[in-house]
Amino acid sequence: MKWLLPLLLPLFMLAASPAVQASAADQVAVPVGGRLTEATLYGLPGVANKKLSSYRGKPLIINVWASWCSPCRQEMASLSRLAKRFHGKEFNVIGVSTDDRIDDADYFVKRAKLGFPAYLDSRDFYNEGMVGAKSIPLTVLVSADGKVLKKVSGALEWDDAEVVKTIGETFGMKLR
């Protein structure tokens, strides 16, 4: 047993650190079926900061991404086409970048010409942790009242007919 103490001591010290405890509190992911809590979304240049609750009243698709993430970049065009196709009438689409630098995220957004608002998760990964983005891309489908309905890990062609049908079924609506 004495041999185990040197191995476990660094873990105990890490767990006792106030910074780690505060960060861990923010990292509790809302499960499917749970409701998202309030959060501030920090807009990239040209996009105003918003409260997450301002998107209530209509279903929401949240895509967590980063400019350095190849699968994230690959799916952005289809997410943009999806957002433009439905014009926010049936549901809204937003992106939350996990980039450490706003310049990196902004450069990517400008080049991609996104059809939806993009925000930066700059509060110690609060939003990223809330939705449970342990890997990206992660797309979360949220009901009009803030309930997490589905989490999709990995890149998809979001404007594909079958995917649009699944989105409609998830939101309980017929999408054309």
Contact 104, 67 (CB under 8 A): yes
pLDDT tens-digit profile of 22-77? 343 345 788 899 999 888 888 998 899 999 999 999 999 999 999 999 999 999 99
CATH topology assigned to domain 36-171: Glutaredoxin (3.40.30)
| Dist. CA 90–CA 126, nearest whole Å | 27
Predicted local confidence at residue 127, as pLDDT: 65
Residue 87 pLDDT class (50, 70, 90 cuts) = confident
Q: Which residue has the higher pLDDT, 4 or 175?
A: 175
**Domain coordinates of the chain in residue numbers?**
36-171
pTM confidence score: 0.81
What are the DSSP calls for 5-50, one per residue?
HHHHHHHHHHHH-HHHHHHHHHT-PPPTTSBPPP-EEEEPTTS--E
